[in-house]
């Protein structure tokens, strides 16, 4: 799959201990890549990274992306061929609590990664992961396209818009002749192993595993929910293009791409909780419509992914019910015996990747070739 772009490749991931980063590391390992990860620590306990015992299977480098020299040194020492930059401060509430740290991690971290790549001749390609919240949100009903205005009222969203601008500047100023680079935007990714605060699925998993009710802050907010493996398949397929292992009529160099579900998969928070609760029928939930004082968060957000389809042939694989089922099954496995036992959760995670690939093959996804 992915045009066999990663077998035997050296891949460097920032934020490999995070939710998306750890799933990406596991998938790359399954593809036969040699993986190094750079992170300042594990962001939560428990976590997908620790539950799956991934630290034993990759080069685990600890460092802060705000420190340019340590990041550059790690990159030069490992000599990767492709970089996936995911490390970030990824929480809206935390961006209100510590706006400077959010801008430093998301803006300065991106700048430092770009500079590190400039000084590392082995790098052939890089994928910079930002967020769907990089768009200036006008609460309109159609999906945001890659050419729409960037912006953000909250510090997190604004920092991601700034990261996109910085990356685009480097692509145009310094990387015209390589390495091949692109940015990707996806949001509201769910799946097993996420325990971040202020996210609805981790809140449900924590509460229901303890036999408690979960309170929902914004039940009518809509989001393009997708399983974590969906955007990762897009990142990996885009990486294959950047590495020259796949090709098409469009140049991907210096481009930005949205990766999200089909247009009709745009459910409310309340619908997510109800769907999850079907897998935990003994537990209850209660709605809290009062909002979070001092925080502004958009209520309507969706992406248009036509560009990824046109340039890469990529589209999402799963429907909403399948996304919820994959997510619930992972947490059930963890709370019913997988916790504290890394091999079962690693095996279960790899099993979900295999099942997702089988579903993608049945639906004739282009990256399975």
**Tens digits of residue pLDDT in 137-155:** 887 778 899 999 999 999 9
Residue 241 lies in a domain: yes
Residue 367 lies in a domain: no
> In this model, does residue 293 exceed pLDDT 70?
no
Q: Are 139 and 300 in contact (CB under 8 A)?
A: yes
| Rounded mean pLDDT, 156-167 | 97
The CATH number linked to 235 is: 3.40.50.720
Sign of CA dihedral 131, 137, 140, 146: negative
Residue 313 lies in a domain: yes
pLDDT at 217: 74
All residues at 6 or more sequence positions from 26 whose CB lies less than 8 Å from its CB, including other chains:
52, 54, 346, 349, 350, 353
Which phi and psi angles does 250 have, rounded to 5°?
-115, 145
CA distance 232 to 13: 13
Alpha helices in the chain (DSSP H): 19-30, 48-51, 68-78, 92-97, 99-103, 109-118, 155-173, 200-209, 229-242, 269-277, 306-312, 320-333, 342-362
CA distance 227 to 196: 16
CA distance 215 to 218: 9
CA distance 270 to 224: 13
Give the Cβ contact number of residue 115 at 10 Å: 17
Residue 210 lies in a domain: yes
Residue 177 lies in a domain: yes
CA distance 234 to 182: 12
Domain count, the chain: 1
CA distance 130 to 110: 9
**How many residues make up the chain in this entry?**
369
Per-residue tokens: 160: 């991601």
pLDDT at 294: 45
Residue 146 lies in a domain: yes
Q: Please state which of the ranges 31-35, 189-193, 313-317, 339-343 shows the lowest mean pLDDT.
A: 339-343
Task: Find the domain containing 275 and state its range.
Answer: 2-362
Q: Please state which of the ranges 71-75, 266-270, 284-288 shows the lowest mean pLDDT.
A: 284-288
Residue 185 lies in a domain: yes
Nearest Cα to Cα of residue 166 among 187, 180, 183? 183
Residue 67 lies in a domain: yes
CA distance 331 to 349: 11
3-state secondary structure of 37: strand
Instruction: Please report, rounded to a whole number, the percentage of residues in the chain having pLDDT higher than 70.
Output: 93
- The gap from C-alpha 309 to its chain's centroid, in whole angstroms, comes to 19
> In this model, does residue 162 exceed pLDDT 80?
yes
**Angle CA(174)–CA(7)–CA(34) in degrees, nearest 5?**
75
3-state secondary structure of 35: strand
Nearest Cα to Cα of residue 114 among 150, 146, 85, 78? 85
3-state secondary structure of 57: helix
Name the pTM for this structure.
0.94
Nearest Cα to Cα of residue 311 among 240, 362, 262, 359? 240
Q: Which residue has the tokens 């799959």?
A: 1
Tell me the pLDDT tens digit for each residue of 166-196.
Answer: 999 999 999 999 999 999 999 789 999 999 9
Which phi and psi angles does 299 have, rounded to 5°?
-100, -20
Per-residue tokens: 341: 């036992």
Q: Are 15 and 88 in contact (CB under 8 A)?
A: yes
Nearest Cα to Cα of residue 113 among 13, 200, 219? 13
| Rounded mean pLDDT, 235-242 | 98
Tell me the pLDDT tens digit for each residue of 42-53.
Answer: 999 999 999 999
């Amino acid at each position: 799959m992915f045009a066999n772009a990663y077998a035997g490749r050296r891949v460097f991931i920032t934020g490999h201990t995070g939710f998306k980063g750890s799933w990406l590391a596991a998938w790359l390992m399954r593809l036969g890549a040699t993986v190094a990860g750079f992170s300042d620590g594990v962001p939560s306990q428990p976590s997908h990274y620790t539950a799956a015992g991934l630290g034993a299977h990759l080069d685990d480098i600890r460092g802060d992306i705000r420190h340019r020299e340590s990041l550059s040194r790690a990159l030069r020492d490992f000599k990767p061929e492709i970089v996936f930059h995911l490390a970030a401060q990824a929480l809206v509430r935390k961006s209100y609590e510590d706006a400077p740290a959010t801008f430093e991690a998301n803006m300065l971290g991106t700048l430092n990664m770009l500079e590190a790549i400039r000084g590392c001749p082995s790098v052939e390609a890089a994928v910079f992961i930002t967020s769907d919240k990089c768009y200036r949100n006008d609460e309109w009903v159609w999906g945001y396209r890659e050419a729409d205005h960037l912006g953000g009222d909250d510090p997190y969203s604004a920092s991601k818009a700034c990261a996109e601008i910085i990356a685009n500047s480097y692509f145009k100023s310094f990387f015209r002749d390589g390495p091949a680079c692109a940015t990707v935007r996806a949001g509201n990714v769910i799946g097993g192993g996420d325990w971040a605060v202020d996210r609805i699925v981790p809140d449900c998993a924590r509460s229901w595993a303890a036999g408690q009710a979960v309170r929902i802050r914004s039940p009518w907010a809509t989001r393009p929910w997708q399983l974590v493996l969906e955007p990762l398949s897009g990142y990996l397929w885009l990486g294959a293009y950047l590495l020259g292992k796949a090709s098409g009529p469009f140049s991907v160099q210096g481009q930005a791409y949205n990766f999200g579900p089909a247009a009709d998969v745009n459910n409310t928070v309340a619908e997510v909780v109800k769907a999850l609760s079907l897998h935990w029928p003994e537990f209850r939930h209660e709605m809290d419509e009062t909002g979070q004082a001092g925080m502004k968060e958009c209520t309507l957000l969706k992406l248009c992914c036509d560009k990824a389809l046109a340039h890469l042939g990529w589209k999402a694989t799963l429907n909403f019910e399948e996304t919820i089922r994959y997510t619930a099954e992972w947490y059930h496995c963890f709370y019913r015996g997988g916790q504290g036992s890394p091999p079962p959760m690693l095996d279960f995670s790899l099993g979900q990747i295999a099942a997702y690939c089988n579903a993608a093959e049945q639906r004739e996804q282009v990256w399975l070739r």
